[in-house]
Structure 1
Amino acid sequence: MHTKDLVVVITGASSGIGRATALEFARHGAALVLAARGTEALEAVARECRAHRGARAVVQPVDVADEAAVAELARRAVREYGRVDVWVNAAAVAVFGAVEDVPADEVRRVLDVNVLGCVNGARAVLPVMRRRGAGVLVDVASVLGLVSSPYNGAYTMSKHALLAFDATLRQELRLAGERGVHVCTVLPATVDTPFFQHLANRTGRRVRAMPPIYTPRRVARAIVGAVRRPRREVFVGVSTRSLRLLAAAAPGALEGVLAVKVDRTHFVRGESAPHDDGTLFAPPPGPGTVGGGWHGTVRTAGRRAGAAAAVAVTAAGVVRRARH
């Protein structure tokens, strides 16, 4: 599918991967419908998008957990542009904390946004795409859809569920003979976004992004690439592909090694943090940003070297544990 003149709907467009994706499609001349909870941030990213080759962009404040609001988002796109070529589900929230420390309503909220938000998006847009016999639905999952992480149970569950949901969608479209409608799952590793500043925290420890860290634009380019050449899954980053292989080869050993790695590197040593709801129930104030200040703009070669080193260490630990 050519990216010029596409009609693209993006949820979670106010910051991070969603915002980077909006800007990347704008560079290709797409017409955009941008959705998120924060109106000020949406207006800011829409202005940035319009500065690229005269790209068109409209905004729609939406909580993706609200099925009726997501259905109206799809109708708005059709009213504005007559069709929807691409729908990107990039909205996500998280809460860090041990299973017994995270309140049930916060777990439920993560699943409502990260899973039901994508379900709502699919239910709203697939009928539009099927009527035309063409379209690409992109769900932004995570490497945590392949492996698990301590203190991040709700988010990890949500991304595992999203992979299963997308597989089901692909099967149903195939059985219905819908060869022109595609569902693609994008799996990035850690990305330099405000996600870690925005998450809810019940650990009492200050959370930081765990290296290796990739740029949001790298993920955005992967999403655009998936639209150009639709495929089942797209793995962003060396570490994601490597963890996929390790998870298949020695899942139990990898589970143990990752538990230690997360505990040691996902928190700032010696720094405490108050319990905080983050952006679970309300959007962050202000115009929003793409990056989170986690040094994801380091040169690609440096990132790859760091990823290779991290994966080598993890693999060595997995091999040692598997032998025992």
Structure 2
Amino acid sequence: MNFLLETLQLIVLSIYYNVEAIIKFCIPSKKKNVTGEIVLITGAGSGIGRLIALEFARMDVALVLWDISEEGMKETTRLSKERGASRIHYYLCDCSDKTEVYRVAEQVKREVGDISILINNAGIVTGKKFMDAPDHLIEKTIEVNTMSHFWTNKAFLPAMVKNNHGHLVTISSSAGLIGVNGLADYCASKFAAIGFAESVALELIATGKDGVKTTIVCPYFINTGMFDGCSTKWPTLLPILDPNYVAKKVVEAILTDQTYLMLPKSMYLLMALKSFLPHKQSVILGMYLGAFNFMDTFQGRQKKRI
């Protein structure tokens, strides 16, 4: 195309999309109807995965739960039925195992149908500094937090693309946006998950599959037990998040086709500052916010939770 014509097109569309964003910020978006959708949630046996399932349990959807804990999924199923869910299926699946993901995915397709909302939520944390973390735990972190997204998307995205309908949800972390002292492997895995999700989203746009939506979720520490012991220096600015609040916001983001969700809202400001502050100023800002000491008192889950 002509340089001037393309430049004019860029300017006009930039103005239009910025105005659109301002309007959407001021006026709540209409929530889409998910009746009849088949929703798969990985890591659904506890924590945020369970709470997201409970939010969807109120809607007329089929729930498909994946986890490595059968006991946890049974409890999620029981609680979901109490909330009104009538179609629930659960499957034992280690999402870090490619062969197992593909095998269980085929079983789901036969027994339930094509997944239309895929929520990649399963995650783990070692809580050890890079030089102290055993190799096998580093590898497991990448396998669960990153590679599992590749395998589940490979398994379920083709049907969404064929139908030009669906929603891919990546539960990442604020640690996938900003490096944190003591979380090298976790940050790397979450950065990678975001990069993967953004690239897949662009592939969908490039191929004209605008009916397949994507949402990337980046919350700060959530009070689910996964980061037990971690502290926050300024709880008003960066609070430890209530899990029920996070689950509600995630489902709301899905229903309104929100591309990015950062929690708390102060994360949007911090990301804006990161993009232009000098490196040394970013370091002292991190020290001020307590990012150098978040993990000093980390304990993690001390006992099995369902």
Helix, strand or coil: the match of 1:185?
strand
Structure 2 distance, partners of 1:24, 1:84, is 18
Of 276, 283, 298 in structure 2, the residue corresponding to residue 255 of structure 1 is: 283
- Whether contact under 8 Å (1:138, 1:223) holds in the other structure is no
Q: Partner of 1:75 in structure 2?
A: 106
Q: Partner of 1:233 in structure 2?
A: 260
Structure 1 distance, partners of 2:84, 2:140, is 38
Normalised to the residue count of structure 1, the TM-score between the two structures is 0.76
Structure 2 distance, partners of 1:233, 1:40, is 32
Normalised to the residue count of structure 2, the TM-score between the two structures is 0.80
Q: Partner of 1:217 in structure 2?
A: 244
Helix, strand or coil: the match of 2:291?
helix
Alignment of 1:33-182 (within 5 A): 33-182=64-213
| Aligned CA distance change for structure 1 residues 155 and 264 (closer, same or farther; 3 Å) | closer
Query: For each residue in 1:268-323, what CA deviation from the matched residue of structure 2 results, as whole angstroms up to 9, or x when unmatched?
Result: 4xxx97xx9x79xxxx645x1xxxxxxxxxxxxxxxxxxxxxxxxxxxxxxxxxxx
Moved more, 259-268 or 188-197: 259-268
| Aligned CA distance change for structure 1 residues 267 and 110 (closer, same or farther; 3 Å) | same
Corresponding position: 1:208 with 2:230? yes
Corresponding position: 1:267 with 2:296? yes
Instruction: Count residues with an aligned counterpart.
Output: 268
- Whether contact under 8 Å (1:38, 1:285) holds in the other structure is no
| Aligned CA distance change for structure 1 residues 9 and 249 (closer, same or farther; 3 Å) | same
Structure 2 distance, partners of 1:153, 1:106, is 12
Q: Partner of 2:216 in structure 1?
A: 185
Structure 1 distance, partners of 2:225, 2:58, is 22
Structure 2 distance, partners of 1:173, 1:251, is 35
Give the drift of 1:242: 2.3
Q: State the superposition RMSD in angstroms.
A: 2.2
Structure 1 distance, partners of 2:240, 2:122, is 19
Q: Partner of 2:15 in structure 1?
A: none
Query: For each residue in 1:70-111, what CA deviation from the matched residue of structure 2 results, as whole angstroms up to 9, or x when unmatched?
Result: 223333332233221201000001112222111222111101
Structure 2: state its 5+ residue gaps: 1-31
Structure 2 distance, partners of 1:44, 1:251, is 49
- Whether contact under 8 Å (2:179, 2:187) holds in the other structure is yes
Q: Which has the higher strand share?
A: 1
Structure 1: state its 5+ residue gaps: 198-206, 289-324
Give the drift of 1:17: 1.1
Compare relative contact order (CA 8 Å, sep 6+) and give the higher one, 1 or 2. Answer: 1
Give the drift of 1:43: 0.7
